Amino acid sequence: MKRGLWLRVVLSTLVLGIAPLAQAQAYADQWWETIIQSDRGTFAMGDGVNFTCRRGQGDLTVTVSASGTPDRTTVEFRNGGNYHRSLASKNDDGHYSFTIPGNRTSTIYHLLTGFSGVNINVEAAGPIYVETGAPSGSPGPTIMRNFCASGSSNSDSSNSDSSSSNSGSKSSDNSSSKTVSSLELPASGGKPMSCGLERKAKSKNGLGTVTLQIVNQTQSQRAIFRIDTNGNRRLVSRLLPGEATSQSTRRGHVWMATNLQGRCRQMLVVQSGGGFAVVR
């Protein structure tokens, strides 16, 4: 076989071999957010703990969103007599990260799958308590363990859990949600607002009642809140990927979309009737 033809065959084989891994998968429930992109997995537990790994490599990198002065500190995950302790280094974001070798991950997986929560002590910053969702059937840590250790992932179990997580807390939304195409979303009904301004955000009762159509265009479930006139969050709805809800509101009202751990993703100040496209 000629050299040029041989190279084309090899390259074609490689491309075909990796193509199925290129598609991103994203799951979410009340406790975990999971994103698998090609051979990399990112798994967020609660609002401040992230795990990353390469498919089937075993090693697990842990980042705790806690800030301290020293460049290195001890981080401990514990529930009763079960614990994992590592020396962590400050990363570029000012948080602490460490890597657990594949042959030492059994304890951390036991903590995440066997208990309702774990206490995380960052020596430089203080304690954090995070719910694992384990007794409630969250597949997050199991998906992570399977993907990181053996390279497999089960989207069926995770997708079914995402839909069942709505039963965890009732919504005050009286309108029905529906799955829609993103093409059905009307023009924006307001002005985007930075999540960093949430502490200062308060709804104002402007003149006139309008209808706001909110569409979840992400691949994860989103919680929808209205910020009241005192600056407090009021849960209105939980939307699965592709779902939409229509809400009666007033000009000057502030709306927010969060992930299921409560982290703000987008905010909108209503100016007219129209749409609120949740894309983050």
47 pLDDT higher than 70: yes
Q: Is the dihedral of CA 44, 45, 48, 53 positive or negative?
A: negative
Residue-wise DSSP of 38-90: TTEEEEEETTTEEEEEETTT--EEEEE----SSSEEEEEEEETTEEEEEEEEE
Question: Dihedrals φ, ψ of 211, to 5°?
Answer: -110, 130
Topology of domain 22-168, per CATH? Answer: Immunoglobulin-like (2.60.40)
13 pLDDT higher than 70: no
- Which range has the top average pLDDT, 84-93, 156-165, 211-220? 84-93
Q: Which two tokens stand for residue 246?
A: 């229509």
- Domain residue extents for the chain: 22-168, 178-278
Confirm if 39 and 17 have CB atoms less than 8 A apart: no
CATH number for the segment(s) 178-278: 2.60.40.780
pLDDT of residue 63: 94
242 pLDDT higher than 60: yes
Q: Give the pLDDT band of residue 191 (cuts 50, 70, 90).
A: confident
Q: Give the pLDDT band of residue 255 (cuts 50, 70, 90).
A: very high
- Mean pLDDT (the chain) is 79
Over residues 141-154, mean pLDDT: 85
Q: Which two tokens stand for residue 78?
A: 């514990």
Q: Hey, do 22-168 and 178-278 end up sharing a CATH topology, with the first three levels equal? A: yes
pLDDT of residue 16: 39
Q: Give the pLDDT band of residue 153 (cuts 50, 70, 90).
A: low
Confirm if 233 and 171 have CB atoms less than 8 A apart: no
pLDDT of residue 186: 56
Over residues 141-168, mean pLDDT: 59
What is the phi-psi region of residue 231: left when phi exceeds 0, alpha when psi lies from -120 to 50, beta otherwise? left
Q: pLDDT digits over 14-45, tens only?
A: 333 433 434 467 777 778 888 888 899 999 88
